[in-house]
């Protein structure tokens, strides 16, 4: 079995090269094993996908629950795993550092920190505090024999703040604070993405959303990593809804065609 340090080195290496790292987001151990069997080289947890597995909305799980979940995904495969730790479940830098220190103990290769507050009135932290929080996360992530690849996220676009200049300023501040990877989920316009990538000197992650450039185009722009957030989890739930409606409303069994494909893939993935 690969050690945490070996997974870290492999994960870092996957951010360098002509091809963008495709990093899908499993929501449980089964989906992690399935995605690993399909040839992906790294995985990331999804806060919204995990919350759905316990019947809740995003941003409603506790730190302890998120860390236990992260550890379960780490244990499902030999792939490097990065955890979506939301805003690290803390406002102050000290609390952020504590969360990162606990995350290291789960065997993760990486994790992310958001600049979102959870407050609808003030959805993102003021820039100086946001940068202090990232600096605290970096110090905790990069200290000791085990360390994490830290991804710093600017959440502006997810909260209706379509201000590219401020988003870039935030990512530059996070880079200065020592973040390994930069991420502005919701930025999908090709022109804006080119400006963003050109403005920073760290690998950039893009969230694959409707309307975003395709994978080959993102790679050509210099994007180094692409994730899907909760999309795969909710695609699976969408398939359940379709099957349930067919059974309940039409009384037919067409869903078995998709179920058969899933069963075949699962048996191949789980046999080891």
Mean pLDDT across 114-133: 97
Q: What's the CA gap between 224 and 208, in Å, rounded?
A: 13
Q: What's the CA gap between 49 and 54, in Å, rounded?
A: 9
Q: For position 177, what pLDDT does the model report?
A: 98
pLDDT digit string, tens, across residues 42-96? 999 999 999 999 999 999 999 999 999 999 999 999 999 999 999 999 999 999 9
Query: Is residue 172 included in any domain, yes or no?
Result: yes
Is 80 exceeded by the pLDDT of residue 231? yes
Mean pLDDT across 230-251: 98
Domain count, the chain: 1
Mean pLDDT across 165-175: 98
**By residue range, what is the domain housing residue 134?**
4-230
CATH of the domain at 98: 3.20.20.60
Q: What's the CA gap between 93 and 81, in Å, rounded?
A: 24
Q: For position 102, what pLDDT does the model report?
A: 97
Query: Is residue 272 included in any domain, yes or no?
Result: no
Query: Is residue 169 included in any domain, yes or no?
Result: yes
Is 90 exceeded by the pLDDT of residue 25? yes
Q: For position 191, what pLDDT does the model report?
A: 98
Q: pLDDT category, 18, cuts 50, 70, 90? A: confident
Query: Is residue 26 included in any domain, yes or no?
Result: yes
Find out whether 156 and 166 touch, Cβ atoms under 8 Å. Answer: yes
Q: For position 47, what pLDDT does the model report?
A: 98
Query: Is residue 271 included in any domain, yes or no?
Result: no
Q: What's the CA gap between 45 and 26, in Å, rounded?
A: 6
Q: For position 272, what pLDDT does the model report?
A: 63
């Amino acid at each position: 079995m690969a050690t945490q340090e070996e997974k870290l080195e492999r994960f870092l290496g996957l951010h360098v090269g002509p091809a963008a790292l495709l990093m899908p987001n499993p929501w449980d151990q089964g989906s992690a094993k399935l995605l690993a069997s399909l040839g992906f080289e790294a995985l990331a947890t999804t806060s919204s996908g995990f919350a759905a597995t316990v019947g809740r909305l995003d941003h409603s799980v506790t730190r302890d629950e998120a860390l236990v979940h992260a550890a379960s995904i780490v244990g499902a495969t030999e792939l490097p795993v990065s955890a979506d730790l939301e805003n690290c479940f803390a406002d102050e830098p000290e609390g952020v550092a504590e969360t990162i220190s606990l995350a290291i103990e789960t065997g993760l290769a990486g994790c992310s920190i958001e600049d979102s507050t959870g407050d609808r009135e003030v959805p993102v932290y003021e820039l100086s505090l946001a940068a202090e929080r990232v600096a605290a996360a970096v110090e905790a992530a990069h200290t000791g024999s085990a360390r994490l690849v830290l991804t710093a996220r600017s959440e502006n676009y997810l909260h209706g703040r379509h201000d590219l200049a401020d988003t870039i300023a935030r990512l530059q501040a996070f880079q200065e604070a020592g973040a390994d990877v930069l991420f502005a989920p919701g930025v999908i316009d090709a022109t804006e993405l080119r400006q963003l990538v050109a403005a920073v000197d760290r690998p950039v992650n893009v969230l694959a959303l409707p309307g975003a450039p395709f994978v080959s185009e993102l790679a050509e722009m210099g994007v180094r990593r692409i994730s899907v957030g909760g999309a795969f989890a909710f695609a699976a739930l969408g398939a359940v809804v379709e099957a349930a409606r067919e059974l309940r409303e039409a009384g037919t069994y067409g869903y078995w065609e998709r179920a058969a494909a899933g069963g075949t893939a699962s048996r191949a993935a789980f046999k080891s």
